[in-house]
Chains A and B, each alone.
Chain A
Amino acid sequence: MTALLEVSDLVKTFGTGEAETRVLQGLSLTLEAGEMAALLGPSGSGKSTLLTILGTLMKPTSGSYTMLGQNLVAADDRALTEFRNRHIGFVFQFHNLLPDFTALENVVFPTAVREGRETPAARARGRDLLTRMGLEDRADFASAKLSGGQKQRVAVARALMNRPELVLADEPTGNLDRASALQVMDLIAEINREEGTTFLISTHDEKIAGLCRRQIVVGDGVVTG
């Protein structure tokens, strides 16, 4: 396997002076393409901050971050936005769908925002993804009318819409019942297996982490295991 991303000596501090908090303290990590890894660690260990930096939503205070050969620390906001749109998918704990849009419109969003319109091809792929998530009959439902599990599956479909190399999932099952959580994880594992998409899943749940082939433990702002 080849390295998809590599972070080295990553430091992230918040606040200044006496209020300064160092969340990441020289963290280094490499993710290979096609991996399905769980990110474990207690609250406040820096998991979410790491995911945010890897998702290019936040820049580190120092350290390096390269993905697909690109130096993402030096890139400007426009370049990061475009990179994020093409190469990174997100699944959040609280699904974070656009409430005034249908399930299909939510799934199609990452492509539509890049192309400037909802193309027929994008809509077709959106429907395919929803079918794969078992939601073909919910495609035109307002997202607000879906159940929690259905919303999270729509969020997974949206994360996969642009065929990203990396999907970052922050507690994707944290808000679901056990059955829905396992259903979502099965889908993630299936996509990882069939399409080779890399998943980095932050979780507190040992059982969910056990479904991943690699476990990365973060503590006090560094990788401890």
Chain B
Amino acid sequence: MLYALKIATRYLTASKSQTSLLVLGVAVGVFIFIFMSALIGGLAEFILSRTVGDISHVTITAEDRDPAILIRLDGHVLAVTERGSARTATLAEAVTFIPLIETIPGVVAVSPQITGAGFLTRGAQVAQVSVTGLEPGRESAILDLDGYITQGSARLGSGLIVLGETLADDLSLRMGQTLRLQSSTGVSAVLTLSGIYDTGNGMIDGSSIYVGLSTARTLFGLPQGVTRIEIKLADLNAADATALRIRALTGLDAVPWTDGAEQLMEALNAQAQTGYFLKSFALITIVIGVASALLLSTYRRRPEIGIMRAMGAGRGFVIFVFVTQGALIGLMGGLSGAALGYLALLPFPSRDAFEAGTLPMDITQGSYGLAITLTVIGAILASILPARAAARVDPVTAIGQ
């Protein structure tokens, strides 16, 4: 239907100012669609990077053994071993799977750890702390300790300790000072403060301390094995699938970060829903705008439609002319809006450089193709009603106008 395309194009170019305004209206709608996509997507990235970026995406923990029980022959339970907080379940053989886990696609880093509770003493001051023993060389595998260090170094050698700025302030600590750390198993060690970090997270900065893996073995009485293995992924959305794969490959209890993060996921979903609503409204605006403009055009061109029908143009031809106009308006508006949206997003920092206090716009999440496609489809749908009205024009009355 090349000829219908020619007529549609001629109608659009014949009313340049009206067509320009219409295309501009559609472009603004598409611009809002793209802007919202980039904002909602960027915001989700920002929130995830701030909340989940520094935590393990898949964690392997030792399952606590069932408490030992003593049962009489008749089934009566005589005694049950009490589960003490000092007893730590271990992954005795798990470390042998680390090379295998590291080969799984998407795995960025693997960090075997020994964790537990303890008391940090400096003179008369005592603080309850959460102790994490890290393998030297893997200090920044999960939490970017190197990036958060404000004094000293994140390197964890034998007899060294790294802790947060809040805890250092609470205990009035300075670099190089010695401290006593007593674990929940009752073992003590004297350690030298070798690094202070500031993550901005009060919980971590105020109560988490890091020591070398060998120091942690001594403190918690674990000559071999670890208590947990933390795994970081390139794509944190792949955590569920990767955890399943690790479970299948190793038989270990691999848990994705999404387990227990229901509230965060709900919040992100709610945010995404809000985005869908706003984008839908933008699309509805486009559809209404195109439909009303084409209806007006149909009314204005009634005599011409009548002439065309008298000259042998079928109803299908007339419908095609008006639907083509809608499609062209949608395409032009979609392309212009996408270009405008892209240009408007260019000055914003990339997703890797989001900063607090600025809009976290992600130019890569503008949904440009989707915006153009939906706009063209919407404009075509919007033109169907005017096109049908045009096709129903009675040539006799239209020519007589």
Contacts and interface: CB of A to CB of B under 8 A. Distances in A.
Interface of A: 52, 55, 57-58, 77-78, 81-82, 84-86, 90, 92, 96-101, 109-110, 112-118, 158, 162
Interface size class of B (residues with CB under 8 A): 20 to 34
A90 B312 CA distance: 11
19 contacts: A57-B395, A81-B314, A84-B310, A84-B311, A85-B312, A92-B399, A98-B304, A98-B307, A98-B308, A100-B11, A112-B3, A113-B3, A113-B313, A113-B317, A116-B2, A116-B3, A117-B6, A118-B3, A118-B6
B29 interface: no
B87 interface: no
Given A117-B3, A118-B6, A162-B312, 11 more contacts: A57-B309, A57-B395, A77-B315, A81-B315, A84-B310, A86-B312, A96-B307, A109-B311, A112-B3, A113-B317, A116-B1
A99 B308 CA distance: 12
B14 interface: yes
A92 B399 CA distance: 9
Q: Is the interface of B mostly helix, strand, loop or mixed?
A: helix
B396 interface: yes
A58 B394 CA distance: 9
Contact of A109 (B11, B303, B308, B315): B308
A113 B396 CA distance: 19
Interface in B286-322: 303-304, 307-315, 317
A82 B312 contact: yes
A37 B311 CA distance: 22
Of residues A78, A81, A90, A115, which shows the largest number of chain B Cβ atoms within 10 Å of its Cβ?
A: A81
A90 B311 CA distance: 8
A58 B311 contact: no
Nearest to B2: A117
A100 B311 CA distance: 16
Nearest to A100: B14
A110 B3 CA distance: 11
Interface string B371-401: 0000000000000000000000001100100
Contact of A113 (B11, B14, B311, B395): B311
Ranked nearest first, the 7 interchain pairs of A and B with the lowest CB-CB distance are A85-B312, A100-B14, A117-B2, A113-B313, A110-B311, A81-B314, A96-B307
Given A116-B1, A117-B3, A57 B315 contact: no
Contact of A114 (B310, B312, B396): B312
A110 B310 CA distance: 9
Contacts of A116: 1-4
A114 B3 CA distance: 9
A24 to B, nearest CB: 14
Contacts of B395: 57
Given A100-B11, A113-B308, A81 B1 contact: no
Given A58-B396, A98-B304, A100-B10, A78 B314 contact: yes
Nearest to B312: A85
Nearest to A81: B314
Contact of B396 (A52, A110, A115, A117): A52
A113 B308 CA distance: 9
Contact of B312 (A97, A99, A113): A113
